Chains A and B, each alone.
Chain A
Amino acid sequence: MLETDIGIKLENPFILASGILDENGYTVKRVLESGAGAAVTKSIGSSERRGFEPPVIYSDYNYTINAIGLSNPGIEDYGNEIKIALQAGKPVIGSIFAQTPEEFAGLARKMEGYGAYAIELNLSCPHVNGYGMEVGSDPELVSAIVSEVKSKVNIPVYAKLSPNTSDMMKQANAASKCDGYVLINTIKAMKIDINARMPVLSNIYGGLSGRSVKPVGIRYVYEVKKETGKNVIGVGGINTLEDVLEYIMAGASAVQIGSAVSSRGIALFSDLSLELEKYMEMNSISRVKDLVGVAIR
């Protein structure tokens, strides 16, 4: 009943978002075993990267701002983590970040070799110079990256786009060769502590996520689904079943969840599955697909 298809088949539409409890294979395995339909890995680059110095996260009830700085063990060491994660018997989606089309394609091939079910291109991290959003806001580069990666791997390729540029449709059109869009990544933001009279994050700027970004995510999922008709995976501020339904009705075929894992714990994946199932039964909906985009006008 909860099955959904985003180019890969999922037993339920709930996916662990990139950067949340997914750097380590054992943790990904545990999250999948606790009920997530799939998991995206932390964004992995060509070499080991330390990231920024602490504080790298500020969080309260309404939002989280992070400037982890794309820390990761590097692609060479990541095969073992994927292997551990895949023991759960569910799809693992490899997230990658790089600067050039060739570098992206190299990382994607490695991920495919490790057994990843799909690739997620991080074209949208807002707080690291030279990566993410800076790559993602150049339409020609985005188009070249997607083409190059698509020509080198046989698994689905998703483009994770940034809400920080002035025109989302320009980015989406540039990435049109992809198999689906992941919307949205975090929004560039900052936090000042009024007693210390200082920005809290060592990097000053970070990416905003959590409850406060949901209306922005909904808007972009709606817009991109309406304009392109392609598969969209919704992400940003999902905490409750109502949030999930909003994203699905706006056009998402699956959703990713990040920040809410901190307050609700990893049990939230199975909890949301049960709640969605109940909702569908009560409303005589037999497939998730029948709800996707129903609000689009």
Chain B
Amino acid sequence: MRYFTVSKNIREAENVNTLEFYDSINIIPGQFIMAWVPGVNQIPLSFSSTGSPKSITVKVYGDASAKIAGMKKGDRIFYEGPYGNGFNNIAGKKLVIGAGSGIAPLIPLIDDDTTGIISGKTAGDIILASKFNPDHLIIATDDGTAGRRGFATEAMREIDIESFDMIYACGPEVMLKAVFDYMKNRDVKCQFSLERSMKCGIGICDSCSINGFQVCHDGPVFTLEQLREMDEFGRTKLTYSGKRVFF
């Protein structure tokens, strides 16, 4: 295993921390690592900064993410990777749509010409909003405690999505499916970053598959055209044992 040495821990919100580190490893935005917390667990994490310093932004879900979120300067983040294909980062007018901690891997794509939509269940789920120009940011929460009330698709209605050269989206699959359905019959280009249960990260265990494609290896980023061919998208998923269940 390799490791990053933490140089800074920044608290983003209750239960969300960004860990910074300096390392020469080359990372394409959207790629991820399998981060190992010895004796605890191993989890996939993507990068919220791919420049210098690099960073990961972690939301506490279980023991491993809690351990990582609590790391101090000098602590080591053990990992294998980077894995996956990453986003094709274009020059032009970009829209990024992230739900919850799904906004993190989209941060490296932001430039002056980028608009953001961040969604979450409640105000506490909205993170990394400060990375955007406030004039080019729409926030939506299910309960209306921050920004507009409603889902990400509600926020999309407020802008002319066909005016963007590329749309990037990341978040839970049900949210991505809603975004996909909103866009599928419009004249847009889009890249979606999927999340599925991962064990190996290197395309051999089949735990992350969707219609025969491996999210860890063929993805995690797929285009609108690719997802059109996948009838499992947003409909069925695999449990950790490999059993197919409906969302």
- B241 CB, nearest partner CB in chain A, Å: 5
Q: Quick one: given A54-B43, A55-B36, A196-B1, are A21 and B244 in contact (CB under 8 Å)?
A: no
Q: Which of A20, A50, A198, A258 contacts B240 (CB 8 A)?
A: A50
Q: Is B200 an interface residue (CB 8 A)?
A: yes
**Which residues of A, 109-131, contact B by the 8 Å Cβ criterion?**
none
The answer to whether B42 touches A55, judged by C-beta atoms less than 8 angstroms apart, is: yes
Q: Is A167 an interface residue (CB 8 A)?
A: no
**Which residues of B, 26-61, contact A by the 8 Å Cβ criterion?**
34, 36, 38-39, 41-43
Chain A residues contacting B34 (CB-CB under 8 Å) are: 54-55
Chain A residues contacting B204 (CB-CB under 8 Å) are: 20-21, 57, 64, 258-259, 261-262
The answer to whether A54 touches B244, judged by C-beta atoms less than 8 angstroms apart, is: no
Residue of A nearest to B199 (CB): A56
The answer to whether A193 touches B1, judged by C-beta atoms less than 8 angstroms apart, is: yes
The answer to whether A200 touches B202, judged by C-beta atoms less than 8 angstroms apart, is: no
Q: Is A24 an interface residue (CB 8 A)?
A: yes
The answer to whether A200 touches B1, judged by C-beta atoms less than 8 angstroms apart, is: yes
Q: From DSSP, what is the main secondary structure of chain B's interface residues?
A: loop
Whole-angstrom distance between the alpha carbons of A25 and B213 in the complex?
Answer: 11
Q: Quick one: given A21-B214, A42-B206, A195-B1, are A80 and B244 in contact (CB under 8 Å)?
A: yes
Q: Which of B39, B42, B207 contacts A23 (CB 8 A)?
A: B207
The answer to whether B206 touches A23, judged by C-beta atoms less than 8 angstroms apart, is: yes
The answer to whether A73 touches B78, judged by C-beta atoms less than 8 angstroms apart, is: no
Q: Is A89 an interface residue (CB 8 A)?
A: no
Interface string of B135-177 (1 = CB under 8 A from A): 0000000000000000000000000000000000000000000
The answer to whether A262 touches B202, judged by C-beta atoms less than 8 angstroms apart, is: yes
Q: Is A223 an interface residue (CB 8 A)?
A: no
**Which residues of B, 210-243, contact A by the 8 Å Cβ criterion?**
210-214, 232, 238-243
Chain B residues contacting A50 (CB-CB under 8 Å) are: 240-241
Whole-angstrom distance between the alpha carbons of A122 and B78 in the complex?
Answer: 34
Q: Which of A21, A59, A74 contacts B206 (CB 8 A)?
A: A21
Chain B residues contacting A195 (CB-CB under 8 Å) are: 1, 3, 76, 78
Residue of A nearest to B36 (CB): A55
Chain A residues contacting B239 (CB-CB under 8 Å) are: 48, 73
Chain A residues contacting B38 (CB-CB under 8 Å) are: 193, 196, 198
Q: Is B205 an interface residue (CB 8 A)?
A: yes
Q: Is A142 an interface residue (CB 8 A)?
A: no
Whole-angstrom distance between the alpha carbons of A265 and B240 in the complex?
Answer: 23
Whole-angstrom distance between the alpha carbons of A49 and B202 in the complex?
Answer: 22
Whole-angstrom distance between the alpha carbons of A56 and B209 in the complex?
Answer: 17
Interface string of A29-60 (1 = CB under 8 A from B): 11000000000001000001111011111110
Q: Is B203 an interface residue (CB 8 A)?
A: yes
Chain A residues contacting B43 (CB-CB under 8 Å) are: 54
Q: Quick one: given A56-B199, A59-B200, are A26 and B212 in contact (CB under 8 Å)?
A: yes
Chain A residues contacting B244 (CB-CB under 8 Å) are: 24, 73, 77, 80-81
Chain B residues contacting A80 (CB-CB under 8 Å) are: 244
- B243 CB, nearest partner CB in chain A, Å: 4
The answer to whether A27 touches B212, judged by C-beta atoms less than 8 angstroms apart, is: yes
- B18 CB, nearest partner CB in chain A, Å: 23
Q: Which of B199, B206, B210, B242 contacts A54 (CB 8 A)?
A: B199
Q: Which of A26, A53, A74, A202 contacts B209 (CB 8 A)?
A: A26
Residue of A nearest to B3 (CB): A195
Q: Which of B1, B202, B212, B214 contacts A57 (CB 8 A)?
A: B202
Q: Quick one: given A21-B214, A26-B209, A261-B204, are A51 and B240 in contact (CB under 8 Å)?
A: yes
Residue of A nearest to B203 (CB): A262
The answer to whether A21 touches B203, judged by C-beta atoms less than 8 angstroms apart, is: yes
Residue from A57, A74, A198, A200 with most neighbouring chain B CB atoms (10 Å): A57
Whole-angstrom distance between the alpha carbons of A56 and B43 in the complex?
Answer: 11
- A66 CB, nearest partner CB in chain B, Å: 8
Q: Quick one: given A26-B232, A195-B1, A195-B76, are A57 and B241 in contact (CB under 8 Å)?
A: no
Q: Is A72 an interface residue (CB 8 A)?
A: yes
The answer to whether B206 touches A49, judged by C-beta atoms less than 8 angstroms apart, is: no
Whole-angstrom distance between the alpha carbons of A131 and B189 in the complex?
Answer: 50
The answer to whether B211 touches A26, judged by C-beta atoms less than 8 angstroms apart, is: yes
Residue from B80, B205, B232 with most neighbouring chain A CB atoms (10 Å): B205
Chain B residues contacting A20 (CB-CB under 8 Å) are: 204-206
- B215 CB, nearest partner CB in chain A, Å: 12
Chain A residues contacting B199 (CB-CB under 8 Å) are: 54, 56-57, 68
Chain B residues contacting A58 (CB-CB under 8 Å) are: 80
Chain A residues contacting B76 (CB-CB under 8 Å) are: 195-196
For this complex, 19 residue pairs linking A to B, each with C-beta atoms less than 8 Å apart, are A20-B205, A20-B206, A24-B238, A29-B212, A42-B206, A48-B241, A48-B243, A50-B240, A53-B41, A56-B199, A57-B202, A59-B80, A66-B200, A68-B199, A68-B205, A195-B3, A196-B1, A196-B36, A262-B204
4 nearest A-B residue pairs (beta carbon): A30-B212, A26-B212, A73-B243, A54-B42
